[in-house]
Amino acid sequence: MNIDKLRTGMAQSILREVARALAALAATGARDAVDLRSLPMTAADRAELETALGRGEVSVTLQSAGRSEIWETRFAGVWWLRHFGGDDRIAAEVIEIAPVPDILVTHADEITAASALMLAELASMTKEAAHV
């Protein structure tokens, strides 16, 4: 028998863990994550899990240190993150239970730098317009 076609029950176990984490997020705001690459899942388990969680309305393709695909499942607050290596193989795969995945939250220092840049550009544009 092909091991990749074998369902081990791991998908159901992960679904129960995600359901508990989602209830905690709703009740207390506690974030959580499940590292799928660390679990002994078969291809059939992964397919079962992906089918059960489905896809919601939001999806993102991110290009930062490699390609990442991120989508909210049909359950608000449950995100599937799949990161690819240089060879386009899955390097990391996580289900994150959070309002927004950490990778999509802009760091405060980046916001400060962007604000300074935008203000400088606006000041420059104002000076140029005054000379016209």
Task: Give per-residue pLDDT as tens, 20-44.
Answer: 999 999 999 999 999 999 999 999 9
What is the pTM (predicted TM-score) of this model? 0.83
Rounded Cα distance, 124 and 36, in Å: 49
Structural domains counted in the chain: 1
Q: Report the CATH number that the domain containing residue 54 is assigned in CATH.
A: 3.30.1370.140
Residues of the domain holding 94: 3-102
Give the total residue count for the chain.
132
Q: What percent of the chain has pLDDT over 90?
A: 74
Adjacency order of strands within the sheet including 90-97: 32-35, 90-97, 78-84, 67-72, 59-63
| Residue 113 covered by a domain | no
pLDDT of residue 132: 63
120 inside domain:
no
d(CA 47, CA 34): 16
CA distances, 56 to each of 33, 42, 46, 63, 78 (Å): 18, 24, 18, 21, 9
User: Does residue 82 sit within a domain?
Assistant: yes
